[in-house]
Amino acid sequence: MIDKQQIFIRRRIEAVAGLLVLGLLLLAVRAVDLQWVQSDRLTTMAEKQRYREYTALAPRGSIYDSKGRTLAESVEIPSIAAMADEVPAERMGELASALGLSKQQVQRKLGKRKGFVWLARQVPPSVAARVMALNIPGVRHEKEWRRYQPLGPETGHLLGFVGIDGKGLEGVERAWNASLTGESGLRQVRRDARGHSLPDGSWLREPVPGQSINLTIDATIQSIAYAALAEGVRNQDAKGGSVVVMRPKDGAILAMANWPGYNPNNFRHAKPGQWRNRAVTDVFEPGSVLKPFSVAAAIASGKWQADSIVYCEQGAMKVADYTIKDDHPEGWLDLTGIIVKSSNIGAAKLALDVGAAPLYAMLDRAGFGRRSDTGLGGESPGIVLPLDRWGPVETANIAFGQGIAVTPLQLAAAFSVLANEGMYVTPKLFADQENKPEIARDRVMSKAVARQVKSMLEYATSEDGTGSKAVPVGYRVAGKTGTAQKANNKGGYSKGKYNAVFAGFAPVENPELVIIVVVDEPQKSIYGGQVAAPVFRHVAESALPYLGVAAQRGPQTDWQTMEVVAESPAFEHESLYGMSMREVRRMAALRGLRLHVHGSGWVSRQKPANVLALNQGDAVEVWLNE
């Protein structure tokens, strides 16, 4: 009996021992599985539970003008984010209140998501401080970058703007987005045993800022052009307008402004149709500003000389079934007279005599009908009919600027040909384009032809011409007015709708600036000499002294006025109160200040209060009222 009990007990002990050995073997197998077979996977899972990662945007590169002044920069600004699954449901109400949102909005943002979620991006620092003071688990303060343009509407169309995710959406910001955009960083956040995110964090990959770029734009001249254009458009109750200022010697674009403007720092307040840079995207029939190139083609043909005379049919001439008219009937005019009196019939007769091919070739070499490749997106090539579609009517019309469409930028490049004694220079907006060997410098016409046409254009701004209002005191100007009826979308022209244009350069003896002014649908007058020429003068009279181009005594100088200007003392007033737009622009140009103007009339407020404390390159802002 005892033997059987001992055997039973021994067997139970053996069974238990066997089970223990088996358990130990299973534990050993499991340990091997966990420590070696599944080690990498489990380590990764543990890391995911301990850490969370999210992408952080890098600041965009800055945009500078030709003197290194900031036109656009990225400014650090707070944003509020959360680890969605860590935010306690009972605290969503106070979180929503601090953010200025409804509780439902916060709940929708968080929902049943896990991981990183933006709650409010680019908020005022006071809002960020209010939220973080609540110390809500999972809610984080993050740093983002917001784009800021100091000149606001003055450069809005040119520079464009950046979306909330740091992507350039219009203008230079879009055209050079790849260069300006930096490399995003990767940030890691550590969590405690309960899964709550700990403060701060570490960089797995630090953000790399984008490349900065320098434009040929001069911020001061940009401000001058914008203010002059705004004043001109308002004075004429016009729909809008554009100004392009270009240095003819090297093609550098010093200013490109459109009116009405919009603030790129708050671009959502403007309609998408207001965002485009109309100086490069919109085309218009140039009208009489194209006549200098028709005259140049005639002289270059060898069939005509500057003193050759043309009978202008007393104001009406029929070509096929089409009647060409002049606003002012003329009889015999020489080629200078055709420019000065702006005769459509005279220009048409020259073109019909020379033939379509020479005129087409002249316009083609001058850059019409093709993009100027400044690097800006949306640039229009304009409209020039293929040569095989030039019949007599088309040839006659194009000779005086109808049946052809151009952009203000194309017109600036073309008039630079006349300023450069016949050489075409590719317009450039980016400073790194300046020394590229591939920049085109092509001869469009001979020096002799260019000089003759330039002389005619100077005469066109005399008291006998249509452009006399374009001439600033002490400077010689060569230029041409244009009054072009606007085309409609039905193949004809809109009744009562015109573009008033002035294109020219100064000073004549050594051109430093080509200035193109286009005013869209002026109401008080339709003529380029009355509407656009004064804007040209306002830009030139401020920009030339700023560039160090001194006024000279010449045949167009008002001597008494010039002597008063020459003898006037240096500006010694702290306040600009009561000054006119012209006086303020002159002060800013002489002192090298950047000018921001609101309204028209006389100065009623200024910032800063003491302009004498400002240094060259500083900004002064003025508000004017009638």
Task: Give residue 513's pLDDT.
Answer: 97
Distance CA(163)–CA(178), nearest Å, equals: 14
The structure tokens listed for 496 are 């009562």
Look at residues 539, 568, 597 and tell me which one is the last residue of a structural domain.
Answer: 568
- The active-site residue out of 288, 294, 372, 416 is 288
Q: Looking at residue 255, which CATH number applies to its domain?
A: 3.40.710.10
Token pair recorded at residue 383: 């409209």
Mapped onto helix, strand or coil, the DSSP state of residue 353 is: helix
Residue 39 lies in a domain: no
pLDDT of amino acid 560: 36
For 590, half-sphere exposure in the C-beta direction (CA atoms, 13 angstrom radius) is 16
Mark whether 387 and 470 lie in a shared domain: yes
Kindly state whether residue 574 falls inside one of the protein's structural domains: yes
**Would you state the structure tokens that stand for residue 535, as one six-digit string?**
């804007």
- Helices 92-99 and 103-110: crossing angle, nearest 10°? 110
Question: Does one domain contain both 374 and 395?
Answer: yes
pTM of the model: 0.78
pLDDT at 49: 56
Domain match, 202 and 275 both: no
- Specify whether 324 is located in the same domain as 414: yes
The CATH number that applies at residue 61 is 3.90.1310.10
Q: How far apart are CA 546 and CA 239, in angstroms?
A: 30
Q: What pLDDT is stored for residue 190 in this prediction?
A: 66
- 352 plus 468 within the same structural domain: yes
Residue-wise pLDDT for 45-102, tens only, equals 555 555 666 677 788 999 999 999 999 998 888 888 888 778 888 888 888 888 888 8
Residue 624: domain span:
569-626
**Residue 64 shares a structural domain with residue 208:** yes
State whether 466 and 382 are in the same domain.
yes
The residue out of 169, 199, 214 marking a domain boundary is: 214
Contact 482, 401 (CB under 8 A): yes
Beta pairing partners, 314: none
- For residues 230 and 157, state if they share a domain: no
**Count of domains forming the chain:** 3
Q: Are residues 232 and 157 in the same domain?
A: no
Low-confidence ranges of the chain (pLDDT < 50): 195, 435, 437-439, 554-569, 626
Residue at which a domain ends, from 550, 568, 586: 568
How much is the pLDDT for 433?
A: 57
Closest by alpha carbon to 139, among 188, 86, 189, 192?
86
CA angle 509, 512, 515 (to 5 degrees): 110
Q: Hey, what's the torsion of the CAs at 457, 458, 460, 464, to 10 degrees?
A: -160
Q: Rounded to a whole number, what is the distance in angstroms from the first to the last CA of the chain? A: 128
Residue 264 lies in a domain: yes
Q: What is the rounded CA–CA span in Å between residue 401 and residue 397?
A: 6
Q: Is residue 26 part of a domain?
A: no
**Do 320 and 200 fall within a single domain?**
no
Residue 506's DSSP bridge partners are: 513
Q: 288 catalytic, yes or no?
A: yes
C-alpha of 120 from chain center: 29
**Cβ–Cβ contacts within 10 Å for residue 175, how many?**
21
What is the structure's pLDDT at 553? 53
CATH number at residue 625: 3.30.10.20
Within a domain: residue 172?
A: yes
Indicate if 179 and 318 belong to the same structural domain.
no
Helix (H, G, I), strand (E, B) or coil at 617: coil
Instruction: Identify whether residues 353 and 336 lie together within a single domain.
Output: yes
